[in-house]
A = this chain, B = another copy of it.
Amino acid sequence: MKLWGGRFEKSTAPEMDALGSSIGFDRRLAFEDVRINRAYSRELRAVGVLTDAELATILEGLDRVEAELRTHPPLEDEDIHTAVERMLAASIDDPEIASKVPTGRSRNDLSVTELRLYLASALDSTLEAVTQLEKALVEAASRCRDALLPGYTHLRRGQPVVFAQYLLAYFWALDRDRDRLRAARGRALGLALGAGALAGNPFGIDRGRLAEELGFESVLPNSIDAISSRDHLLELLSAAAILGTNLSRMSEDLILWSSAEYGFVVIDEAYATGSSLMPQKRNPDSLELIRGKSGRLAGNLVSLLTTVKGLPTGYQRDLQEDKEPVFDTLDTLHLVLPVMEGVIRTLEIDRDQMSRALSPDLLATDLAEYLVRKGVAFRNAHGIVGQVLRKASEKGVAPGELTVSELREFSPLFDDGVAEVWDYQKSVERRDSEGGVSLRAIDEQIQKAAQRL
């Protein structure tokens, strides 16, 4: 069965059917299709296209269709709308009644509405998964408030920080991701139904009532825009691609830190795998896969950006290509988020190994600041410390092992108080401005994070 073709004299070529068929992926929208058919039929009753009896027949038929969809998902029709229309006709005694359902409606407005409805609920679970991961991060941060380790820039040890600061950095990035996904969800929840093929509905359908019944937040105010626009999907794909890059960066950190060379953390075996050849291997595959999947999230975005670029306004069949990247992106998020949450929840940290990575040269900045507090201009202090470090390096000692008199060669302001500089804990405590790494600042930050959840 095809929903068109009355005027056609020829059937489509098999390679054309293969190219055009969408049932392979749009059958995922089957239950949204049924749900919309219910609501739309009620509306057809309200405007007099259907009688009460016809409506009852249709609703019963749709119940049967829904049950059948659960057990026998359709595979052969051109698309899911055709399948549901065919199944409905088969499920009631008078198939003519079924064929009243699409009155004033087109696949253009129907399929757009289905996808929007699907997104709303799919994104609910995505948002929940992000939230769970955020919670895991806050909890882990609470446990590592005081675990000292080097903070890195350029993958070079920079200054002492606490491990919680990294976990909370992830938190805030994800929190922005959540906001973006939520905005995308909101934008998805505009009702397209009632736009018809492009010109609107001629049977007096009340779109506001339809929106309310289906759980949409607004009615799309322009019939052409409703069937033509895909920017809400691009927004979702963008938000997901950005989230993907954030997850890729977390993964990179954790892969490095769990390596023999760093040894700061241990990835639980439940999230690691071995090698088919090398018996000793324990690989962080979970994180590598999460990092790798940032590629497909970016690819899905580019796919749809490219497809819609330069299309004329209105429905073009090119737009059938909107669903697969969206589904793949949602599936990908549903795969990676719980794994990242599991990795974080089970992450063991090795405080000793973290400590061992601290070395006095990480306090070079503190040494410069020591001089600043004594009145040296910062740029000069920076230069003096550079000389101190060279001297220590030439002598083959740590800078903290230079005597005060050796230090005085570079500045007369050094005195015994300089010993305080060489304490990692104190260094961290000095960074007490909002957002810093002192215990107080971290606790304040954890509270803020908890409030966001």
Contact = CB atoms under 8 A, between A and B. Distances in A.
B252 A378 contact: no
Interface-central residue, A204, A226, A315, by most chain B CB under 10 Å: A315
Given A151-B198, A156-B281, A292-B319, A204 B433 contact: yes
Interface string A261-288: 1100000111111111111111111101
Interface string A311-346: 111111111110011000000000110110010000
Contact of A278 (B159, B223, B245, B357): B159
A430 B223 CA distance: 14
A154 B285 contact: yes
A298 to B, nearest CB: 4
A307 interface: yes
A71 interface: no
A113 interface: no
Contacts of A81: 276
Contact of A173 (B231, B249, B288, B383): B231
Interface stretch (A6-14, A27-35, A115-123, A412-420): A6-14
Interface stretch (A59-67, A104-112, A401-409): A104-112
B298 A309 contact: yes
A389 interface: yes
B245 A308 contact: yes
Contacts of A104: 369, 372, 378
A165 B350 CA distance: 33
A252 B195 contact: no
Interface string A419-453: 00000000010111111111001000100110000
B285 A307 contact: no
Nearest to A94: B377
A52 interface: no
Interface string A184-201: 000100000011111111
Given A102-B276, A199-B160, A431-B196, A154 B369 contact: no
A351 interface: no
A280 B364 contact: yes
A377 B219 contact: no
A176 B249 contact: no
Nearest to A183: B183
Nearest to A319: B292
A16 B435 contact: no
Contacts of A179: 187
Contacts of A253: 312-313
A259 interface: yes
B307 A225 contact: no
A153 B295 contact: no
Contacts of A11: 270
A176 B172 contact: no
Contact of A296 (B225, B303, B428): B303
Contacts of A8: 269, 272, 274, 282
A369 to B, nearest CB: 6
B321 A292 contact: yes
A305 B197 contact: no
B158 A275 contact: yes
Given A5-B386, A201-B431, 16 more contacts: A85-B379, A99-B377, A100-B377, A153-B316, A154-B284, A158-B278, A169-B228, A170-B313, A280-B362, A289-B318, A295-B305, A296-B303, A298-B306, A298-B309, A299-B299, A299-B300
